[in-house]
Amino acid sequence: QSALTQSASVSGSLGQSITISCTGTSSDVGGYNYVSWYQQHAGKAPKLMIYDVTNRPSGVSNRFSGSRSGNTASLTISGLQAEDEADYYCSSYTSSSHWVFGGGTKLTVL
């Protein structure tokens, strides 16, 4: 199972919005409503930010939102804050009854 495709890095200024994309296939991202997004600060465990494509766990800021179009899922962060600087990973269930992560995107807040 190949990893989902994410851009290596993205940057944005304080207060701006950014979008991180995650491209898979119809056998994973496009085929199931089981896409999730994780935030990982350096040296820390990942944190669930979005599950089931668009759902936000309780306690996660509404500045974070998820969407999908075809085989590409997206995470949008609005009103960028300094604490948003982290690595972000997407994940999807696959037709092989496996789970797969994207390669990760490093977000830099300018």
Binding site for another protein (CB under 8 A): 1, 3, 32, 34, 36, 38, 40, 45-48, 50-52, 57, 87, 89, 91, 93, 97-104
Residue 24 and residue 72: Cα distance in Å, rounded? 6
**Secondary structure class of 82 (helix, strand, coil):** helix
- C-alpha 78/C-alpha 17 separation (Å) is 4
- DSSP letter (8 states) at residue 13: -
- Work out whether strand 18-23 and strand 105-109 pair parallel, antiparallel, or are unpaired: unpaired
Q: Which is nearer to another protein, 16 or 96 (CB)?
A: 96
Q: How far is the CB of 80 from another protein (least distance, A)?
A: 22
Nearer to another protein, 77 or 100 (CB): 100
CB of 67 to another protein, least distance (A): 16
Q: CB 103 → another protein: shortest distance, Å?
A: 5
